Amino acid sequence: MSKSITQDMAYRQSLMKYTEKYGVSRASRKYNKSRSYIYFWKQRWDGSVASLACQSRRPHSHPNQHTEAELKLIRDMRRRNPTLGMIELWHRLRQRGYTCCPESLFRVMRKMGMFPPEKPKKAYKPKPYEQMTYPGQRVQVDVKVVPRKCIADPELRLFQYTAIDEFTRLRFLAAYPEQSTYSSADFLRKLRARSSAATARIRNASTLAARSIPWMTLQSSLPSTTVVPTTYP
């Protein structure tokens, strides 16, 4: 039992002292408690605050609890069959007079420590980002559904294919009426054709940048983002 005095225990102690001095009826009116409540705690009170603590209501026994014979049967069966599954183990125990359900068997086996301890999970270590060193080294491709509020025609449904070069952060977009292998293959063909021209322009831009040409001049030579709703023939 905890040695700390809770607020409820202090309240009951004040109630008991007032009851001893003025009686149960007057204490019932003052503290707004029923007479049966006061008699209940008065019967428990022995003058100490610890006697006014709430005791556990857990029953001391259960009519369906495991007997010593059943516990011994579980230990013996588990020792002889350490790799047996729960249902198969329960079925064999039932053949030998076991009467509890599989859930009760699992709880009592866990209480007796018959299961191996769980292995601690490894801490997640994120991989460091690999910085790209040249254009086209790695391109990310993603597909998303275009929200209907972004489309003028409410009946039209579009899927946006996006490709982003991780080195230059340039992106290429295309919209298709469906997400299929044909749409993916067509997008990759267009991306490959556009990336070849973009790589050549970027190399020329890098050469011009080495000669201190202003960035506004370079920007005009880079490919722009393209969104083209594609229709099938």
Q: How do residues 140-196 score in pLDDT, each as one tens digit?
A: 999 999 998 888 888 889 999 999 989 888 899 999 999 999 999 999 999 888 877
Digit-coded pLDDT (tens) for 9-42 = 999 999 999 999 999 999 999 999 999 999 999 9
| Beta carbons within 8 Å of 223's beta carbon, 6+ residues apart | 170, 172, 194, 197, 198, 201
Q: How far apart are CA 229 and CA 173, in angstroms?
A: 10
* Between 224 and 67, the higher pLDDT residue: 67
Q: Are 132 and 166 in contact (CB under 8 A)?
A: yes
Query: Is there a contact between 167 and 136 (Cβ–Cβ < 8 Å)?
Result: yes
pLDDT at 109: 92
Closest CA to 69 of 107, 99, 102: 99
3-state DSSP assignment of residue 103: helix
Q: Which two tokens stand for residue 37?
A: 């409540």
Name the residue ranges covered by the structural domains of the chain.
Answer: 7-52, 68-111, 139-219
Helix (H) or strand (E) holding 160: strand 159-165
